[in-house]
Structure 1
Amino acid sequence: MNSRPESDIMKNWGPAREPLLSIVCPTYNHEHFVAQTLDSFLAQQTDFPFEVVINDDCSTDGTAAIVADYARRYPGIIRPQFQSENQYQQGNHPCPGLFRLSRGKYIAFCEGDDYWTDPFKLQKQVDFLEHHLDYVITYHDAVAFNEHGMQGVQLQGKGQRDATSLELMQGRPISTLTTCFRNVLHEMPRELAGAPLTDLVWWALLGAHGKGKYLGDIAPAAYRVHSGGVFSMRSDKKKLQMTLHTYGALANYYFRIGNVPLYEHCQVQLFGLSISAISPLKKLLALALVARNVSVNLLRRATSSTARG
């Protein structure tokens, strides 16, 4: 349990008390983890005010009591939200509402079973965004771990570099618990409201506002893999289905707003994912069908061109 008093956290904030940044933290049945998560928030050393907007989605363990105790001890920082019915099970993701509740110019995100390891993380991310208006989001590394130990960096290669606006709009993966972004996600388009991979949807929407910055000098955050994890413990088949559903939702959204290149990008992703989801024999049948459709389309274009000639 964190012993750092609230006055010590606020001592460098200056006279302003309106938060510049809001930490958004959804939690559910994280009794064994949420104290470590909150402690990692309260360990942050900043020269600006921040708040913690934490939502307990009607946990059935002791999570709500732990959150309430922290809110009592840190009333100027922690703003708890307690649900009387589980909203996630009803298809209502808590984050759009939490984003709207957030008073900060920036939002940092971390679920109640993960935690941060760098006490200067928020200061570095906010400093960058304050001085680079063409960027909308910053992020860094995260290390996955379970009860047996570390499993390695969550995203490597492409994940460890900056992202263009286009790459964000295409739904490029980012370690969600590492992000700090501008508070511009106030409404969710109807096509994207039910997308399972909500983080890919957020990055896509943020891409319309700017670029992404990878900050390699921030110590990796800790991504916990456990049996209660909403995504980490899903089967590979289920994860694939969730990704298909999400790209389908993005395709519908881009079709409605008339962005043909992004619509076609999502369709290509859907095609590749669909092929990988079926058996080898079905792959051959699907590729044969694609070849047939391409041949028919080419023939129609040739016939139309000849007729016009």
Structure 2
Amino acid sequence: MIVSVLVITYNHEKYIRKCLDSILEQEGDFQLEILVGNDKSPDNTERVLREYEGDKKFIILNRKQNMGATKNLYDLYKKAQGEYIAVLEGDDFWTDPKKIQKQIKVLEEKDDSVLCFTDSHIVDNKDRIIGEKLLPVEKLESIKDVMFTIGKIPTGTILFKNIFLKNRHENKGVEELLTASNIIGDLPLLAFLIKSGKFYRLPEKTGSYRYITISGTSYSAMSIIKKSLEAEKVIRAIKAYYDPHAKFFLNCTICRSRKYLLKDLKKKDKKLLKEYKKSLKFKEILGLNLYTLFSPLDDLIRSLYRKKIKKYRKKNLFINS
């Protein structure tokens, strides 16, 4: 069995070695195929990657032109030959050498599964643990579950069945979905995969997500406004990809996102606020105004979902104590 590990990297000369070594430390009944997409890093990332060129597990792609994170990753999806795929950014790393083996077991035991995720540490630029990233649920079953838990699944911990390989000619509209934003790749991937099965959680910390707040290319370093604008592109793409029965819910999600974006822009960037308002079409403005009427109901539904998650977490803390 082959497991493809996809690594996208840009300006990660300080971190890429730790990332790749953590992959090589994986133990289990599988072979590794490690695809690295170096998106024309201007630093010494390429020089570090040369240290791994002699290892046959690696396929290292040093891009001649900068593609952007999501196009870089999508190209790796198309090239992956493994039965399973794991994704890891070049500044993150794994901490459990049995991570992949444990997740394969989960996916093999759950016939209705497509993806397994775990909990994660959050570390700073010096590898100091500063928090944790986890979603305290047993499983996710629908696009609503995915949209209600945006940003909660630690992307660097996921392992999923390679449906790109099985359905290469049936994935109509997938490229448009997965590359809708230049920087957000996890949400569209999850929206795509949830159509094919359920996501199961392995309640163990198997990796570390690096949270960098200093100015730079890291997603965690970007402004809330930029993140919100990119997130709207993704949600629009998900809406276009999904069946009509899900569009009402996704419209609510878009309007909710716009509501908070307008609020942030009003406080922080009046010029960008004017530009953003001008970019909205009449239908979008009308939809936003209608949403304000039933947003209390949307707030209630989301509040009930959060309470459900808290209840699950408390119950499992009690059982495990």
* The two structures share one fold, judged by TM-score above 0.5: yes
Q: Supply the distance in 2 between the matched residues of 1:287 and 1:45 (Cα, whole angstroms).
A: 52
2:142 corresponds to: 165
* Structure 2 residue ranges without an equivalent (≥5): 267-284, 295-321
Deviation at 1:191, TM superposition (A): 5.0
Query: What is the CA–CA distance in structure 1 between the aligned matches of 2:247 and 2:288, rounded to whole Å?
Result: 24
Q: CA deviation at 1:70?
A: 1.2
The amino acid that maps onto 1:261 is: H
How large is the RMSD of aligned CA atoms in angstroms? 2.9
Aligned residues with identical type, % of pairs: 27
Q: Tell me, in whole angstroms, the C-alpha distance in 2 between the residues paired with 1:50 and 1:107.
A: 10
- Inter-partner Cα distance in structure 2 for 1:61 and 1:32: 10
The alpha-carbon distance between structure 1 residues 64 and 125, as it changes in their structure 2 partners (threshold 3 A), is same
Kindly tell me: are residues 120 and 237 of structure 1, through their superposed partners in 2, closer, same or farther at Cα, counting changes over 3 Å?
A: same
Distance in 2, Cα, partners of 1:33 & 1:94: 19
TM-score, with length taken from structure 1: 0.77
- Contact 1:201 1:250 (8 Å CA) reproduced: yes
Per-residue deviation, residues 192-246 of structure 1 (Å, max 9, x unmatched): 53235221111111111100010013x3411112244431111112222222221
Residues 1:80 and 2:64 aligned together? no
Partner of 1:239: 227
Counterpart residue identity of residue 165, structure 1? S
2:92 equivalent in structure 1: 114
Give per-residue Cα distances to partners, 1:3-59, cap 9 Å, x unaligned. xxxxxxxxxxxxxxxx52100001111111000001100111112111111111111
Contact 1:145 1:222 in 2 (8 A): yes
TM-score in terms of structure 2 length = 0.74
Task: Determine which of 179, 194, 199 is the counterpart of 1:193.
Answer: 179
Return closer, same or farther for 1:292/1:30 CA change in 2, 3 Å cut-off.
Answer: closer
Paired position in structure 2 for 1:124: 102
Q: 2:236 aligns with which of 225, 234, 248?
A: 248
The 1:288–1:112 alpha-carbon spacing in structure 2 relative to 1, beyond 3 Å, is: closer
Higher CA-based Rg: 1
Q: Distance in 2 between matches of 1:133 and 1:38?
A: 31
How far has the Cα of 1:168 moved from its partner?
5.6
CA 279–99 in structure 1, closer or farther in 2 if over 3 Å, else same: closer
Instruction: Give the secondary-structure state (helix, strand or coil) at the position aligned to 1:209.
Output: coil
Say whether the 8 Å CA contact 1:57–1:87 is kept in structure 2: yes
Q: Aligned letter for 1:69?
A: E
**Shift of residue 170, structure 1, vs aligned partner:** 4.2
Q: Quick check: 219-228 or 20-29, which moved more?
A: 219-228
Q: Which residue of 1 aligns with 2:307?
A: none
* Paired residues for 1:1-309 under 5 Å: 19-72=1-54, 74-75=55-56, 77-88=57-68, 93-147=71-125, 149-157=128-136, 160-167=137-144, 170=147, 172-173=149-150, 174-185=153-164, 186=168, 187=171, 188-195=174-181, 196-217=183-204, 219-226=205-212, 227=214, 228-254=216-242, 259-279=243-263, 289-290=289-290
Tell me, yes or no, if the aligned pair for 1:25 and 1:53 is still in contact at 8 Å. yes
Any unmatched runs of 5+ in structure 1?
1-18, 295-309
Number of residues of Structure 1 aligned to a counterpart in Structure 2? 264
The structure that is helix-richer by fraction is 2
Q: Is the 8 A contact 2:70 2:185 kept in 1?
A: no
State the SS of the aligned residue for 2:8: strand
